Amino acid sequence: MDQMRQPVSTTTPEFAGYYGRLTRSNMAPLWEVLKNLVTAEPVSPARPAHWPYEEVRPLLFEAGKLISAEQAERRVLVLENPGLRNQSSITHSLYAGIQLVLPGEVAPQHRHSQAALRFILEGRGATTTVEGERLEMCPGDLILTPSWQWHDHQNETKEPIVWLDGLDIALVALLDAGFAQHANQKEQEVTRPKGTSRALYGANMIPVDDSPASLNSPLMRYPYEEARAALERLKQGTDWDSCHGIRMRYAHPRTGDWVMPTMGPAIQLVPGRFTTGAYRATDGAIFAVAEGHGSAKIGNENFDLSPHDVFVCPAWTWRSFTAAEDLVLFTFSDRPVQEKLGLWREERSADH
């Protein structure tokens, strides 16, 4: 039989002197920190949090009176996790913010190593230009800006546009791999007719002699009307998942994989008067309410949900949803990274 480890006091003068010599040699004793480095289950400083849109929107539009989109470069309110203050992070690995572009404004072009996605909350008809193609933005649409692609935003309509930004800023920072570049021109030249990427990749077809697939989807806009129609058909014609209702991920049209290598967006429908079973996974997830009302239980926190609200479920935290009416939730997380590294894990518990 294995003998139980005998406790050792490391507060003696002998240990103090030894630790001092280790410090001067840029070393440290693993036995003092091992239990915090290798834990029995995931441990995250991130906490459940909820940003009701009725509170976010007035503050966002107040910023619109104080600073222009061009002056700010990006007029965004960062959604800071209360457990990660001053880190511009909503989970340990990801960033989220709410962006506003007012009528007549242009958010100037730039590019960076960090990949971005945008889920449109309010406004219709403004555009974002990605690598020479202008993409119209409507509520519920998902817009992609892969790593190191030029992008700018313009609002030529008469109404403001608001969206949720998601970026892999913390992941890129962890790897010390961040670059950024600004252009001499505020807006990039439009070199591809509107709708080109959807014509090439959005109709369950790809060009016969297509170039080798990259890790990023070549489809930059995923319209909400198509996603919503698919969810509705599945609600009517398939069994509902006990922990998700109906949940679908956005797919790379060339490979069927996630649309980006670092962030995985998905969308789910919780049918009205349905309560999901408790579920948790190792990917901390950010959610935005596309439509409907209901509630979320995240760990020990309970949030009442309305359209355009944003909330976060930290890694390995139990979550469940109750829909007062059909509740559609957009979500994204770092699941693609975890899957590629063989780290992703989930757990279901109908009794939790």
Tens-digit pLDDT profile for the chain (352 aa)? 445 667 788 899 999 999 999 999 999 999 999 999 999 999 999 999 999 999 999 999 999 999 999 999 999 999 999 999 999 999 999 999 999 999 999 999 999 999 999 999 999 999 999 999 999 999 999 999 999 999 999 999 999 999 999 999 999 999 999 999 999 999 999 999 999 999 999 999 999 999 888 999 999 999 999 999 999 999 999 999 999 999 999 999 999 999 999 999 999 999 999 999 999 999 999 999 999 999 999 999 999 999 999 999 999 999 999 999 999 999 999 999 999 999 999 999 865 5
Q: Which residues contact 39 (CB under 8 A, 6 or more apart)?
A: none
Partners of 127 in the beta sheet? Answer: 136, 154
Q: How far is CA 173 from the centre of its chain?
A: 16
pTM of the entire structure? 0.95
Separation of alpha carbons 149 and 6, rounded Å:
57
Separation of alpha carbons 167 and 149, rounded Å:
13
Among candidate residues 142, 149, 162, the one with its CA nearest the CA of residue 53: 162
Separation of alpha carbons 92 and 314, rounded Å:
9
Which domains, ranges and CATH numbers included, belong to the chain?
A: 49-349 (2.60.120.10)
Among candidate residues 113, 95, 216, 258, the one with its CA nearest the CA of residue 164: 95
Q: What is the pLDDT of residue 351?
A: 57
Q: What is the pLDDT of residue 1?
A: 41
Q: What is the pLDDT of residue 2?
A: 47
